Amino acid sequence: MLKRRAIGWLIICITCYILLLVRLMQIQLFETKTFSKHNINLLEESVHQRTQEVVIDNGRGNFLDRNGNMLTHKKVPVLVLFPFLKKMEWSINKVSSIAGIPGKFLKQAVENAKKPFAYGDPNPLELTASQMERINALKIPGVFAIEKKYERSTVPAEQVIGLTGENPQELKRRYSNKDLSEQTLIGVSGLEESFDEFLLPEGKSKLVYHVDGDGAPLFGINVRYVDPANPFYPVNVRTTIDKDLQQKAEDLVDQYHVSKGGLVLLNIEDNSVLASASRPKINKNNPYNGGITNEMVKQQIMGSVFKTVVAAAAIDYSLDSSSRLFDCSKKINGDPELKYNYGMLNFTDSFARSCNRTFGELAKDLQKMDPHLLEKYAAKLSLTGPVGWQGNVYHTSDFKQIADEEIGRIFLTDDARKDPNYAGMSGIGQHEVRATPLAVANMMAAIARGGKKEMVRVASKIEYKNGTTMVNFPEEEIKGDSISPYTAMKLQKLLREVVLNPNGTGKWFQNLPYDVAGKSGTAETGKYMNGKQFYNKWFAGYFPYKNPKYALVAVNLDVSDNEGGVNSLFADMVRMLYDKDKGQ
């Protein structure tokens, strides 16, 4: 009996020992980086327990504007202090004198510190280059003047740049072949998502010192600077955005109380985005419920701006005769036009005054010739396909700079395509006609260039840390048919007539410092509130007329008929760009 008990206890002990051994092997050999269901990296956690550190740079790549200015972050020269200073004598008065901080404040900050810190965080005191040099010359252990990377409280073009976040499941899905910490930030929208693979960190830059269980220095007071071994990372994505223009554009959008909508500004010469503002702004606390959508790359009901496409087709099919008159005292369906009764107008005046009857009839004429004509000409003007830069980059085929860009459309069904009534409604940009503001801006740029349509770039290149080029994004034409130079010239004159005509819908822009050519649009959205119908209000154009530099689209979405116009916003953008170009 006794022997049996002894054997039993021995088996229990051996079993426990084996289980303990297996557990230790699991912890120290097999799952050191992915322990438990939470995938805890035990190596990292053990280091964290015996070190204290201040992160200088999280190692993720950065976004720069076209002039090399940081967009999402800024580097701030700060004073970093380590908590072990409270246990030693140090030249607090010298540091105080150089930094301009009363000694008692420095002493109090150190006494209260449990880990290294930048003085004044989260709004640190910014040092000058001279102050940094003099503080570091003191060579006081635990006192450093360094440049620390901080996220900007307000990010320009925030929907274009996008957001990052921690998502271990998505991280593992995207990069199962990479050894990355669960805390690694990944892009979840905008360029942060498109360029995510290039922006992943090689490691953090930080100041580190080892401590014992009580937080005292373990190996003396030597502080080490830890930096990723690869000298080429993190990379910088050089965007085409002009930070100053972007800020002024956003100020104007807010000045005119655009709650949904915004503007997009293109540089016609290299077909790149200079500024793009979308509203509503991002709600950082709940982004998916407020503002993360970039309205400039989402399809919108465009209204009369689409008449530009109908005009292009009408020119090519000789439907633009000046002798043909249209009865603009009637609506498309033949009912009397009470609000916009313009009488009899020819083709040019109809375009300038945006007569619905004219372009409804022209669309029906085109539909009789070929039910696909409206779609063909929309494609020729790059309205219905993706316009953002795409191509092969390294091992990534069909890389897209604007991953969340939607494409436009004219008809959803073949029945609608062949129906003359639907064709008439489509001719004035209603029914199922949709396009993104970015595509509309690209259409204006193509017309200004004589019909040549190009991809829109938001980034010009990716640079290594040392400034050399990793990837170039060259100017690229959009494949497919385009309008002829002759048709483009005729459209240019029509768009200019919108402004020059005393009754034109763009007459408000006659006295601007740059000559503007463009087209207005007021689209019925089918949405109502308190008995009022909502509209999308547009003005899309380019300038200067004779030497085009800029294509600009301003749009205010879901506004009532008697408010939310975009003429003043568009005009102020033109004035601002003129002043900038003239150095004022």
Question: Residue 58 corresponds to which tokens in the numbers above?
Answer: 């999280």
- 350 catalytic per annotation: no
Alpha-helical regions (H) of 26-124 = 42-49, 92-99, 103-112
In angstroms, the CA 580 to CA 479 distance is 34
Q: Which residues pair with 221 in a beta bridge?
A: 219
- CA dihedral sign of residues 30, 36, 39, 45: negative
- Work out the angle at residue 515's Cα, subtended by the Cα atoms of residues 514 and 519, and round it to the nearest 5 degrees: 120
First to last CA, the chain: 103
Residues whose CB falls within 8 Å of the CB of residue 181, separated by 6 or more in sequence, listed in order: 41, 44
Beta carbons of 433 and 302 less than 8 angstroms apart: yes
Q: In Å, what is the CA distance from 8 to each residue of 1, 4, 14, 15, 351?
A: 11, 6, 10, 11, 98
Residue 486, C-beta contacts closer than 8 angstroms, at least 6 positions apart? none
The answer to whether 70 touches 63, Cβ cutoff 8 Å, is yes
Strand partners, 393: 396
Instruction: Please name every residue paired with 440 in a beta bridge, in sequence order, or none if there are none.
Output: none
Contact 237, 61 (CB under 8 A): yes
Count of other CB atoms within 10 angstroms of residue 554: 32
In a 3-state reduction of DSSP, which class is residue 368? Answer: helix
Q: Tokens representing 374?
A: 């409206």
C-alpha dihedral sign at 106, 108, 111, 116: negative
Q: Which two tokens stand for residue 530?
A: 């308190």
Cβ atoms of 329 and 353 closer than 8 Å: no
CA distances from 181 to 39, 163, 171, 266 (A): 9, 19, 9, 39
Please identify which of the residues 272, 278, 304, 460 carries the catalytic annotation: 304
CA distances from 571 to 366, 397, 431 (A): 34, 41, 29
- DSSP-assigned beta bridge partners for residue 73: 151
Q: Are the C-beta atoms of residues 181 and 44 closer than 8 Å to each other?
A: yes
Q: Are 508 and 514 in contact (CB under 8 A)?
A: no
Question: CA 280 to CA 293: how far, in whole Å?
Answer: 8
Alpha-carbon distance of 242 to 69, in angstroms, equals 9
* Enzyme catalytic residues: 304
